[in-house]
Structure 1
Amino acid sequence: MKKGSMQKSKQWNVKGALRLAGVFNFLHSCGSGCLLPFLTLYFRHLGLNASMIGIIMASKHLLALVWRPFSSVLARQYDKRRTVIVGSLLSSALVVLTLLLFPSTGIQAESGRCNASQPEADPTPLLATLEQMTVPSQSNATVYSVNQTSISTEQPVDVNATVSLNWSARGLKSLKKEEDVHTEFLGSLKVMDAQHQMFFLVLIVMALWECMAAPLEWTADDGLYEYLDFVDATDRHSGVKVWKQLGAAFGNCAVGVLVTSLFCLTGASVEFYSYTILMILTVPAAALLPIYLRKRERLTSGGFKALQLVHGNSQAILCAITVVLMGMVSSAVSDFLFWQMQDCGATEIHMGISLALVHLSQTGFAPLSGHLSRFLKYHGWLLVLAVVSLAMQCLYYSFLWSPWSVIPAQLLAGFSTAALWWSITSQSEDIATPGAEKTIFRLFEALSLELGAAFGSLTAGFVVQKFGVMVLFQGAAVLLALWSSALAVLKWKIPRQRRINYSRLLAADTELSESDTDQEKDWLETAMEDDRGKTSGQWKRLN
């Protein structure tokens, strides 16, 4: 019997599972931090304009909004979570390297690092046309007869020779284009200019990459959560999130230092190779990741129930609108803040360190969240404070003057982001039925990180293209300032509705029953004193 109990305790090693999950999340977040924040800079290097980049990033978020929950449900339904995780790591690590095969179109100017000359538009087509139109010269005395008229070589080439060559070349070119369109795969790309060709190629690769990478995070998180739920240790699940922040911070700093040091030799390819290497290093941890395997079940409508719970609560609707707006602005900042910093002379080391400070400040918010919530009465006012903080940092971003001037706003960004997610967690617990807290939190997460981010990237791309980055940040600051005022008034007018969560009450009652014996003794002594007082009062009335 002892042997069986030892094997069972060895099988469900919660501490070991949490350590392994921490390693997995650290390596995966480190790899993501090496590449994802710097993608828009690389697209700028390729020659894509702001509106094109906005469309690419919006497509990425919309694809993740649909494919991520659907793929995680399928992986759970067919017990293929580990296969999905390992396959996602390997395929995304290889697909992303395709972006390195695309040469720069030379439309966007570089920053002039390594004493490199500024790239210009490719003059090859124009030179080829001029060479076709040029007539070989012999001597100054040579005379050409065109239409029975003699002209000397000192004069320009006759227009009628030029027109015939132009029309013949144009006709052959149009016939070739039509043939390519009808016979070749993606032949229509050849009709476009180099910039639009690059745009569609990058869009295709990013869509394929997102299909490979999107199922990973939710699938791994669900497997670990159900594993801990089976052994009644879900309270330790939140401790794994710290390793995500630390991994992202380390990846930001490391790749910033490497790219800045090796830029003259490798350019921005270090970011892609770092991502690939770290994804491959994550595979052993993913293969050993603790995942609870369950029997096949019928698909549940947890997402629709979560929508109904949010729709039936006025405070939750305000929170949903807020997370969409915050997601829009946060996506605009993440897409084009590095553009603003690059224009101020910043390099990747400035960007990496400033972004790492955001993640580190988020980890330091957890000990302060309880004190702030008590000071602000309840989490709703902390949500208002998060919106105000993001508005202030957007206004600050619009007036950057040096590479290191972004540091104060980044520290404030960590506070606003952490306050937002802490408020969302509290709101999810308030309206959730037993066991639905995680589903409602996922709903808010999708509204912010995917739906709001998609609209934010699309809008930000067109605003930057037409008005510039400074106007984008100032407009975002004004929008958030107006919404924070409206949010404060609405939260003051609308009463707070809180659903009674019996599972939390049961857990609180269990903790109370297992409390110190001194508290039980105090409760018993108080009851006995009350009983003695009542008894003595009765004797006095009888006397």
Structure 2
Amino acid sequence: MKRNKQWDVRGAVGFAALFHFLYSCAIGCLLPFLTLYFRHLGLTAVMTGTIMAVKHIVALVWRPLSCILARRHNKRRMVITGSLVCSAAVVLALLLFPPTGKSTESRSCNISQLSAVHELSLTTLKPKTTEKFSSPVVYSTEHKLKPAQEHNNTENIPAMPVNISALHNNQSTIVTTTSSQSDRQESLEAKKVQMPSPGKRSRSLTKREQKQQETDKIQYEFLGSLKVMDTQHQMFFLVMIIIILWEILAAPLMWTADDGLHEYLDFVDATERHRAVKPWRLLGTAGGMGCSGILVSILYCLIGTVLHFYTYALLMVLTVPLAALLPLYRHKREHVPGAGLKALHLVRGDSQAVLCAITAVLTGMAGSAVSDFLLWQMQDHNATELQMGIILAVVPLCQAAFAPLNGCLTRLLKVHGRLLPIGIMGLSLQCLSYSFMWTPWTVLPSQVLAGISIGALWWSLEAQSVDIASPGTELAVKRVFETLYLDLGAGLGSVAGGFVVQKFGIKALFQGTAAMLGVWCITLAVLQWRIPRQRRINYSRLLAADASEMSESESEQDNDWLEKAMEVDNVNNNWRRLD
């Protein structure tokens, strides 16, 4: 690398923000509405929850592994480009499956509603016309008797003449059929007698013929089991295969792009600029939800809900040229070996971090249950795609608006753990309000509360990751909490949510989720009060502090703290730089 090469940090961050904006917009167009499409295909709540849980589990295992492989072989750009193209192609395969005919959705197009109303009016008019002209028609006034009434009224039936010749013919046909059946049985018994014993037959057959018969028998049993399976379960397994393949292709994209950008900014000592990308992701997600909802609501009677898939594929293809110019860098000298395992060890060794990890899992379960089945409840209340898109877009917009307040909250609270129970309580109230929905627009205040609560939750988790992280593991510790929330907690929540909705209903799901979060909020507040808090020194803040703003005594005290911390850090620091 040349020494005089100019590094445009602002341009690199802006280009990465545009890439993440388009990608998040594509995700927002499809992913929140995916469970609604599963309902359109006729899948039950348990099937939907299982498919979403498998999707999260695949991401939990494959995402970190794929990022490690992409970095080790220096194939990040190729992985990003291939993920964009292949995931857009694979997800369109879901459109090849027709509905099973057992769709549980209640919404239909306006034209179909008009035709249904017209048919209903015709059917309601028919009985009136028949009643009016029923006097000359004898069979229109007859009523069908129940089996018990027919049996009781057999005495009143008049005697009917019987055709003896016809009875004779029927008896002859019965005799012939019975004789033919007896002949068939005798022939089968004769064949069984003539068949050789298993030992003689095995001697006459070759090994190749025996293997061919065994394979034919296995194939026949497999095809027979598929024929026995109903269309709903066939659809379930086919959709699960497509979703697993889609997640395998799409999972490495976000972390791989993040790793390259983080190492690029770390090389030029501008790691703090990495935070500027997150608000653009949230804005892209909100834009994708709102725009796709508006377009589908307008064009629903023409193409239906498949527009979500087409907009996703189109935006993913438009992001491919940006991936070719995405700022990526492989920092060979500043990589910490085993950063993920070290991050897990740091989280496990701090009591406050363990509480944050449990909070991430429980809130991930609640968030997954809400996101999977909220649109089902809104659809039951006759919500349109326009209402769904706007209501869903409120949450990321509030999160993006919460991001500039991080500095003010840091100076105001001084301890980020105090905001964690408040965020959980907000999510509990949000879930409780969903269970009392009577119109779709009543969810809007709850969505505002949810956006602020999720923003406070993530700010607290990120602050905790900064407190416990050692040099070189900041991003890895942050991803531990992200994985617990988005993958592990979301997978458990999808499975549990599907079974609860199937057995008790959607309202019971929201009420149970609210109760779970409320209990954990009280428990977390008590545990935070009882557990002593260990404050860790932030070296960068001490070194960046202005000497003019501190008195001599404060500066001497900070220097003493800094010397002690550097001595402890030299003893306990086990990581080294790779040349």
TM-score of the pair, normalised by structure 2? 0.76
Residue aligning to 1:101: 96
Tell me which of 103, 108, 124 is aligned to 1:112: 108
Residue aligning to 2:172: 148
Tell me which of 306, 315, 323 is aligned to 1:269: 306
Residue aligning to 2:33: 38
For the pair 1:301 / 2:319, whether they are aligned, the reply is no
Contact kept, 8 Å, 2:56 with 2:487, in 1: the verdict is: yes
Contact kept, 8 Å, 1:64 with 1:450, in 2: the verdict is: yes
SS in 2 for 1:387: helix
**Distance in 2 (alpha carbons) for counterparts of 1:359 and 1:490:** 30
Contact kept, 8 Å, 2:336 with 2:472, in 1: the verdict is: no
For the pair 1:69 / 2:69, whether they are aligned, the reply is no
Contact kept, 8 Å, 1:434 with 1:501, in 2: the verdict is: no
Contact kept, 8 Å, 2:267 with 2:331, in 1: the verdict is: no
Residue aligning to 1:449: 486
Residue aligning to 1:8: 5
For the pair 1:194 / 2:231, whether they are aligned, the reply is yes
For the pair 1:28 / 2:23, whether they are aligned, the reply is yes
Residue aligning to 1:133: none
Contact kept, 8 Å, 1:249 with 1:355, in 2: the verdict is: yes
For the pair 1:92 / 2:129, whether they are aligned, the reply is no
Letter in 1 for 2:108: G
Letter in 1 for 2:44: N
Give the drift of 1:194: 0.5
Give the drift of 1:375: 4.3
Give the drift of 1:456: 0.2
Deviations along 1:31-69, whole A, 9 cap, x unmatched? 000000000000000000000001000000000000000
**Distance in 1 (alpha carbons) for counterparts of 2:50 and 2:223:** 20
Instruction: Describe how 1:140-539 pairs up with structure 2 within 5 A.
Output: 145=169, 148=172, 182=219, 188-295=225-332, 300-502=337-539, 504-505=540-541, 508-512=542-546, 519=548
Deviates more, 1:102-111 or 1:90-99: 102-111
Task: Evaluate the alpha carbon distance shift between residue 147 and residue 286 of structure 1 in structure 2; reply closer, same or farther with a 3 A threshold.
Answer: farther
SS in 1 for 2:101: coil
Give the drift of 1:179: 6.3
Letter in 1 for 2:257: A
Task: Evaluate the alpha carbon distance shift between residue 248 and residue 186 of structure 1 in structure 2; reply closer, same or farther with a 3 A threshold.
Answer: farther
**Distance in 2 (alpha carbons) for counterparts of 1:400 and 1:338:** 12
**Distance in 2 (alpha carbons) for counterparts of 1:249 and 1:60:** 22
Contact kept, 8 Å, 1:181 with 1:188, in 2: the verdict is: no
Contact kept, 8 Å, 1:431 with 1:498, in 2: the verdict is: no
Deviations along 1:403-456, whole A, 9 cap, x unmatched? 211100100110111111100011111111122111111001001100000000
**Distance in 2 (alpha carbons) for counterparts of 1:373 and 1:185:** 62
**Distance in 2 (alpha carbons) for counterparts of 1:297 and 1:482:** 43
**Distance in 2 (alpha carbons) for counterparts of 1:410 and 1:91:** 33
Letter in 2 for 1:509: L
Give the drift of 1:498: 2.7
Give the drift of 1:112: 2.8
Deviations along 1:204-260, whole A, 9 cap, x unmatched? 000000000000000000000100110111111100111101111111111001111
Task: Evaluate the alpha carbon distance shift between residue 104 and residue 181 of structure 1 in structure 2; reply closer, same or farther with a 3 A threshold.
Answer: farther
Tell me which of 53, 56, 61 is aligned to 1:58: 53
Q: Which runs of 5+ in 1 are unaligned?
A: 120-140, 152-157, 165-177, 514-518, 528-543
Task: Evaluate the alpha carbon distance shift between residue 370 and residue 70 of structure 1 in structure 2; reply closer, same or farther with a 3 A threshold.
Answer: same
RMSD, matched Cα: 2.9
Residue aligning to 2:200: none
Contact kept, 8 Å, 1:143 with 1:150, in 2: the verdict is: no
TM-score of the pair, normalised by structure 1? 0.81
Give the drift of 1:294: 4.2
Task: Evaluate the alpha carbon distance shift between residue 204 and residue 403 of structure 1 in structure 2; reply closer, same or farther with a 3 A threshold.
Answer: same
Identical-pair percentage: 57
Q: Which runs of 5+ in 2 are unaligned?
A: 117-162, 185-214, 556-579
Give the drift of 1:463: 0.2
**Distance in 1 (alpha carbons) for counterparts of 2:255 and 2:261:** 10
**Distance in 2 (alpha carbons) for counterparts of 1:249 and 1:282:** 17
**Distance in 1 (alpha carbons) for counterparts of 2:474 and 2:228:** 52
**Distance in 2 (alpha carbons) for counterparts of 1:270 and 1:180:** 44
Deviations along 1:462-491, whole A, 9 cap, x unmatched? 000000000000000011111100110110
Letter in 1 for 2:243: M
Letter in 1 for 2:109: R
Aligned length: 469
Point out which structure has higher relative CO (alpha carbons under 8 A, 6+ apart). 2
**Distance in 1 (alpha carbons) for counterparts of 2:491 and 2:240:** 14
Give the drift of 1:367: 2.9
Contact kept, 8 Å, 2:87 with 2:249, in 1: the verdict is: yes
Give the drift of 1:187: 7.3
Query: Which of the pair has more CA radius of gyration?
Result: 2
Give the drift of 1:150: 8.0
Give the drift of 1:346: 0.6
Give the drift of 1:113: 2.4
Task: Evaluate the alpha carbon distance shift between residue 397 and residue 229 of structure 1 in structure 2; reply closer, same or farther with a 3 A threshold.
Answer: same
Task: Evaluate the alpha carbon distance shift between residue 189 and residue 181 of structure 1 in structure 2; reply closer, same or farther with a 3 A threshold.
Answer: farther
